[in-house]
Chain A
Amino acid sequence: MSGASAHNLGVKTIGAIALSAIALTVGARRHALDPAYLRHLSPAACFLVGLVACLAVALIGVGWRFGARSRLGIGLVRGRPALIEDAAARRTHDLPGVVQRLLLTAGFAGVVLAALGNHAAARIVQLPDELGAPAPSEYCMPEPVEAAAPAPAAAPAAPVEQPGCALVMRAFKLGYAKSLGSCAPRQAAPVAVETKKPRREVCTRRQLDEPYLHYGFRRVAGAAGTASSVDPIAAADHRVSDVRTHLDFLDGLLADIRHAITGTPHASHHLWVNLPDPHPQSIGERFTGSERCSQRFADLPLWPAWQPGDDARLVEHVLGQLLFATRFGSTASCSDYIIHWDAAPDTCRQLAADPVATLDRDGALAPIRAVLDRRRRQLEIGELATALGRQPPVAPPGAAAIVSVACFVVDAPGATGARDATGGTIALDGDAISLREIHVAGVRTGGDGPIDVYAGLARLLGGPGGDLAAATRTPEPVELSGDDFLLARLDPLIDADPFRGARDPLGHPEIVEVYPFEHHLHGFIDGFRRRYLAQRGRL
């Protein structure tokens, strides 16, 4: 680097200038260097800022070695910055160590000023007192004295109005009657309210003025008294009996702990759909993992515009709206559900014929068995509690509530057509599991097609719903054509529920833009969830 000019700077100098500049900028951006802020700093805060900054610089100074010159320098070689080795021999300029120290101290002070204000300094000053103060968990604290509230002044009781006396009162006021007689105003007696003072428990912790030796003796004497008051043979017998009972239920106890540690699902619901996966796993996702379903369904659009071929995405969207969208109230837990895309149209028939093999083939057997096992273990723990004479925990929901299998089958064109949902049960390891299936005659993404998907999935998952249409009045017809009174003509859309048959407006794109979907979807999904979530549970 023989071409370096005489204007070389040591890296320590550059580092000190850069660090202090950055730190002061940070402080300035946090308004810590504002004159108004500095003017109101308390002496304690100033002292603490200086102390912390000096300590930080002293700590850094051990490695920095302010007294030694920089070994490396940076200079301009042919107009470009270059690193210069052996800086001391090449007349590299370095700021004196004291100046570097001062620069760093100023920089650190700027940052610390932003972090340590008057409030923080006061808290730090008070810290020793707070640490030394008696804690309520160790000492018997004095009963808080209630502020002596002034006795409420006796408010004049309101005169009681007596029925049938209005005319007599009026006559008395006008001078037509000399006395009110039985209509004379009576004062309502004030109601005495008895306030009960809460009973205070006897405190056995250390008293504030109790010597530590006395407190220790009191604890030892108390423990000895407790030990001597119980028959040791009976206590040991009881203990042995407890341990034996626990050993009898050891498998269940260990399995329950294993389920808790390994995070066995709290429920396992599986839906087979004979449509292609709308989110096929990419190469990147094979390494990073797929998007979590809670993220996928976190912010679903209310009524997106679908294109032809979006059948699977539409089905997934509707399922997300029905079960997981938070805007419609209580949701099901997303992690409890698995959708098996690309399923065979006769999957449910295979499930009914050979459930274990079919579930195993599609990877559903292990999670279902884990959930059923977790439930069995919880039942065993309930039996253990009963055997020990304790209050048993709340019984887990039935197997059919925590595990279910269902098939949403889109029939090929020319098939026999849509069929209503059918239900049944399959047996797995002695537990009855609900099996439901629905066939729909195609998925239409345009017009009112999504309504069919909503209705089909709702019937599949929750069964047929109550017909609320009978309880509501007939909606006013919507006049879609015309140039005037647009606002008034579109107003009846609020009553035109497409889930109850008013689907004509959905065929008009200009109406779809302003259709009150939120209102109608809210009503439909709320009704569905009331029906569906009552049938489902979690461990």
Chain B
Amino acid sequence: MTRLPIAAIATPRRAGALRLRRGVVALIAFAIGWIADDAVAQPQRHAAYVARALAAVRGLGPAGADELDRTLYGAARSQCHADTGTPTVSCLIGAARAVCGGAGAPGGDRARCEAAADVVVANLRSQTALIDDATRIRLVRGSADYRAALAAELRRRYAVLASELVLAGAGADEAQAIDALCAQRDRTLHACQAGDAACVPSLPWSRCVAALVWFVGGTGGTR
């Protein structure tokens, strides 16, 4: 038995219904494609780097991360004059390369150490933006170990930022969520009142990413 093509055997009414059905299917497919395309078109160029940095911080572990932070903090003060002003990037990168290139570098792996050191360097430069002068003076006067007090204060700010990440709906891909939040966060208003510890001011992408990677990588994630 020869099968006739569907179009040939369909009555005009059925043909109209078929066309309508095909049109609906095409429309749904187009909508799905458009939504998917829109989702893919979001800025994700830096997500891979964020993922690498996050993995590096996690790979160091709490002890390794603290050791790297302490070493770079000391290098920034001794080599880059961090105690008199914001250290330059070139000096900090040089110090980080020296720390990671030497024997007994934290983490053992040079690439991983440098990825984590990048986070530490960005955090070192953002300290003045995250903690105002009054708070820093209070820390200097009220604590025996300034570095530890500063780290604790910074950690509070990072935690506030991480809560924003959670509220923004961080999915399975934390690096992508961090990249997206930090790329968009600065586009909205973040005016903080003086002394408001629960408010993190407007931050450039690099500083926002560094803070979140350090916190999320050091605490085991956003969940």
Contacts and interface: CB of A to CB of B under 8 A. Distances in A.
Q: Is chain B a partner of chain A in the same complex?
A: yes
Interface of A: 301-303, 327, 476, 479, 484-494, 510, 513-514, 516-519
27 contacts: A301-B187, A476-B90, A479-B90, A485-B96, A485-B117, A485-B118, A486-B46, A487-B118, A487-B122, A487-B206, A488-B89, A488-B92, A488-B93, A488-B125, A488-B206, A491-B89, A491-B207, A494-B129, A494-B207, A513-B43, A513-B45, A514-B43, A514-B46, A514-B206, A516-B204, A517-B186, A518-B187
B130 interface: no
Nearest to B49: A486
A516 B129 CA distance: 13
B205 interface: yes
Contacts of A494: 129, 204, 207
A327 B89 CA distance: 30
A187 to B, nearest CB: 28
B53 interface: yes
Interface in B101-136: 114-115, 117-119, 121-122, 125-126, 129
Interface in B181-204: 182-183, 186-187, 189, 202, 204
B43 A484 contact: no
A302 B189 CA distance: 10
B204 A493 contact: yes
B183 A514 contact: yes
Contact of B189 (A303, A327, A516, A519): A327
Given A514-B183, A519-B204, A487 B43 contact: no
B65 interface: no
Size band of the B side of the interface?
A: 20 to 34
Contacts of B122: 487-488, 491
B180 to A, nearest CB: 11
A486 B43 CA distance: 16
B210 interface: yes
| A-B complex: 7 closest residue pairs judged by Cβ atoms | A514-B205, A516-B204, A487-B122, A488-B121, A513-B43, A487-B206, A490-B206
A487 B209 contact: yes
A485 B114 CA distance: 7
Contacts of A488: 89, 92-93, 96, 118, 121-122, 125, 206
Nearest to B121: A488
Nearest to B96: A485
A236 to B, nearest CB: 60
Contacts of B205: 490, 513-514, 516
Given A494-B204, A514-B204, A484 B114 contact: yes
A518 B114 contact: no
A489 B121 CA distance: 10
A484 B115 contact: yes
Contacts of B126: 491
B88 interface: yes
Contacts of A519: 186, 202, 204
B45 A476 contact: no
B206 A491 contact: yes
A277 to B, nearest CB: 27
A17 to B, nearest CB: 38
A487 B124 CA distance: 11
Contacts of B93: 485, 488-489
Given A484-B115, A485-B118, A492 B46 contact: no
B42 to A, nearest CB: 10
Contacts of B202: 518-519
